[in-house]
Amino acid sequence: MNVRPDQLADILDTQLHPVYVIAGDEPLQVMEAADRVRARCRQLDFADREVFDVDVGFDWQQFQDQADSLSLFASRRILDLRMPSAKPGRVGAQVLSAYTARIPQDTVLLITAGRLDAAQKKSAWFKALDRVGVVTQCWAIPPERLPAWLQQRFLSRGMRASKEVVDYVAHRVEGNLLAAAQEIDKLALLVGAGSVDIDAVREAVADSSRFDVFELADSALAGDCQRAIRVLHGLQAEGVEPVLVNWALAKDIRLLATLAKNANSSDSAFRKAGVWQKRVPLLRSCLARHPAERLERLLQRCAAIDAVSKGQQPGNVWDELQTVAYMLAA
């Protein structure tokens, strides 16, 4: 049975199914949908949870043994199967199909996965899971629907946001729902419940006296070297994780490299890439400064910075980030 993410709560309240498949490439929706399933199971006294992370060397026999090991007197439990690629492989497909034929009592199988393509939806293992359980697919929210999503998110936190506030947040998060949720949660702490206008938000942001990674990326894209470096130093002083800083820079550089490589900077290309309209001039100005080859080199440097931040390569991660920010702004 297929249900939308916004229908899942009602389905859970009505009936608990033995299998839930939550798939998609929108991490916040996948995470929150899975949290709803776990929370409902806890309410119904599912006290135990076994977590399985499916990677290249995953042992499907271990999963099958755990599924078959529940005794008559064991407590209720959740089998939490995390499958990022949404491809279980030949052995995994057989195990999942077999599981649906002999579902253990007092057990809920929760599968979180990446986006399911057409071939996977037609596969025997997926059809078997769909027959006995609930499938929720989480799609990315297109730019034209993002303001409505943000308004609903504000309301869920007890806040009534003006159009200017919604546009402000949409500009900062660029369609990244996880970043949007964090931004709204931060505003809820700084501004509080009730009506929120743009002046209150700007005052709250100013009072917090914090730079953020989005300001760094925008400054670099705009060609403002001095501000980009100042923001970067502020992030370092505040203890922001360098991997988050690198992500913000690499996200925009990757988009620019793709557009430059395809020689396509039309309005439709930006819309297709999910770029918020107010950021289009900023990205265009950066494209005018950098050829595709240079953007590719910057992207390679971001990959190297990721390795440095994880201790896989030697180097000073903040010095490397400063170099990339400066080169992007130059």
Q: When comparing pLDDT for 211 and 137, which is higher?
A: 137
Q: Give the mean pLDDT of 166-189.
A: 79
Question: How confident is residue 210, by pLDDT bands cut at 50, 70 and 90?
Answer: very low
Residues 225 and 254 in one domain: yes
> Both tokens of residue 175?
């369609």
The number of distinct structural domains making up the chain is 3
Question: Looking at 106, 138, 170, which one is the last position of a domain?
Answer: 138
User: Which region among 5-14, 154-163, 198-207, 218-227 has the lowest average model confidence (pLDDT)?
Assistant: 198-207
pLDDT of residue 261: 75
Does pLDDT of 268 surpass 60?
A: yes
E strand spans, the chain = 2-3, 19-24, 46-53, 76-83, 107-113, 134-138, 159-161, 194-196
- Dihedral sign, Cα of residue 261, residue 264, residue 265, residue 268: negative
Residues 231 and 303 in one domain: yes
Q: When comparing pLDDT for 208 and 99, which is higher?
A: 99
Domain hosting 224: range is 213-329
Question: Looking at 189, 208, 227, which one is the last position of a domain?
Answer: 208
Burial class (CB in 10 A: 0-12, 13-18, 19+), 224: middle
CATH of the domain at 66: 3.40.50.300
User: Which region among 13-22, 171-180, 223-232, 288-297 has the lowest average model confidence (pLDDT)?
Assistant: 171-180
Residues 83 and 177 in one domain: no
Residues 27 and 103 in one domain: yes
CA dihedral in degrees (26, 3, 87, 102; nearest 10)? Answer: 140
* pLDDT tens figures, 29-84: 999 999 999 999 999 988 888 899 888 888 999 899 888 886 555 578 899 999 98
DSSP string, 66-119: HHH---TTPPEEEEEEEETTS--HHHHHHHHHHHHHSPPTTEEEEEEES---HH
**N- to C-terminal Cα distance for the chain?**
53
Q: What is the DSSP letter of 157?
A: T
> Both tokens of residue 65?
């043994």
Residues 132 and 167 in one domain: no
Residues 196 and 226 in one domain: no
Q: Give the mean pLDDT of 90-100.
A: 93
Question: Looking at 138, 160, 192, which one is the last position of a domain?
Answer: 138
**Amino acid residing at 113:** A
Q: Give the mean pLDDT of 259-272.
A: 70
Residues 121 and 45 in one domain: yes
Residues 104 and 150 in one domain: no
* pLDDT tens figures, 129-140: 999 999 999 988
Residues 149 and 50 in one domain: no
Residues 181 and 262 in one domain: no
CA of 256: how far to CAs of 216, 264, 288, 305, in Å?
Answer: 16, 10, 10, 19
CATH of the domain at 289: 1.20.272.10
Residue in 114, 172, 156 with CA at minimum distance from that of residue 139? 114
Does pLDDT of 169 surpass 60?
A: yes
Residues 39 and 131 in one domain: yes
pLDDT of residue 144: 81
pLDDT of residue 267: 67
Share of the chain above pLDDT 90, in %: 30
Residues 29 and 130 in one domain: yes
pLDDT of residue 154: 93
Mean per-residue pLDDT over the chain, rounded: 85
